[in-house]
Chains A and B, each alone.
Chain A
Amino acid sequence: MLTITDCSVLKAAPLGDRQASKFFLLRLNAPGWTAEEWRPGQFVMVRPVAWESDLPLPRPFSICEVNKEELGLFFQVMGKGTARLGTLRAGDTVRVLGPLGNFFAMEADRPTLMLAGGMGLAPFLGYAHRHPKPQNLSLLFGHRPALDSYPFERLRGLGLLKNYHEQKPGDLRIFLQAVDESIQDNARRNGLILACGPMPFLRAVRDMGKKYGASIQISMENRMACGIGACQACVVKPFVEGGSADRPLPPVFRQGLPVPVCTCGPVFWADTVDLD
Chain B
Amino acid sequence: MDSGPDKLAIAIPWARGLLGLRNPVLAASGTFGYGVEYMPYGDLAKLGAFVTKGISLRPMPGNPLPRVAETPCGLLNSIGLQNCGVERFISEYLPCLPDKGVKVIANIYAHNLEEFAELAGILSAETKLAALEVNISCPNVEAGGLLFGQDPQSAGQVTAAVKKRSGTLPVIVKLTPNVTDISEIAKACADSGADMISCVNTLSAMAVDVRSRKPLLGKGIGGLSGAAIKPVALRCVWQVARAVSIPVIGIGGINTAEDILEFILVGAWAVQVGTANFSGPDMIFRLPTELASRMDELGIASLESFRGSLQM
Binding site for B on A (CB under 8 A): 2, 4, 47, 51-58, 80-81, 95, 97, 222-226, 228-235, 255-258
Q: B33 near A56 (CB under 8 angstroms)?
A: no
**Majority DSSP secondary structure for residues of B touching A:** loop
* Closest Cβ neighbor of A232 among chain B residues: B82
Q: How far is the CA of A228 from the CA of B38 in the complex (A)?
A: 8
Q: B73 near A58 (CB under 8 angstroms)?
A: no
Q: A56 near B275 (CB under 8 angstroms)?
A: yes
Return 9 A-B CB contacts under 8 Å, by A number. Answer: A4-B282, A55-B70, A56-B276, A57-B68, A57-B278, A223-B68, A225-B68, A226-B277, A257-B82
**B107 → chain A closest CB, angstroms:** 13
Q: B68 near A97 (CB under 8 angstroms)?
A: no
Q: A257 near B84 (CB under 8 angstroms)?
A: yes
Known contacts A54-B72, A56-B73, A256-B59: A235-B281 contact under CB 8 Å? no
Which A residues are CB-close (under 8 A) to B77? 225, 231, 233
Known contacts A231-B68, A255-B59, A257-B84: A57-B279 contact under CB 8 Å? yes
What is the count of residue pairs linking A and B with beta-carbon distances less than 8 angstroms?
112
Which B residues are CB-close (under 8 A) to A56? 70, 73-75, 226-227, 275-276, 278-279
Which A residues are CB-close (under 8 A) to B61? 256-258
Interface: B280 (CB within 8 A) = yes
**A interface footprint on B270-303 (CB within 8 Å = 1, 0 otherwise):** 0000011111111000000000000000000000
Q: A54 near B37 (CB under 8 angstroms)?
A: no
Q: How far is the CA of A174 from the CA of B38 in the complex (A)?
A: 47
Binding site for A on B (CB under 8 A): 30-33, 37-38, 40-41, 53, 59, 61-62, 65-70, 72-75, 77, 79, 82-84, 88, 226-227, 253, 255, 275-282
Which A residues are CB-close (under 8 A) to B68? 57, 223-225, 231, 233
Which B residues are CB-close (under 8 A) to A228? 33, 37-38, 281
Known: A4-B280, A47-B280, A226-B278. 19 other contacts (CB 8 A): A53-B255, A53-B279, A56-B278, A57-B70, A58-B278, A81-B70, A97-B281, A225-B77, A230-B33, A230-B53, A231-B30, A231-B68, A232-B62, A233-B66, A233-B67, A255-B88, A256-B59, A256-B61, A258-B61
* Closest Cβ neighbor of A263 among chain B residues: B37
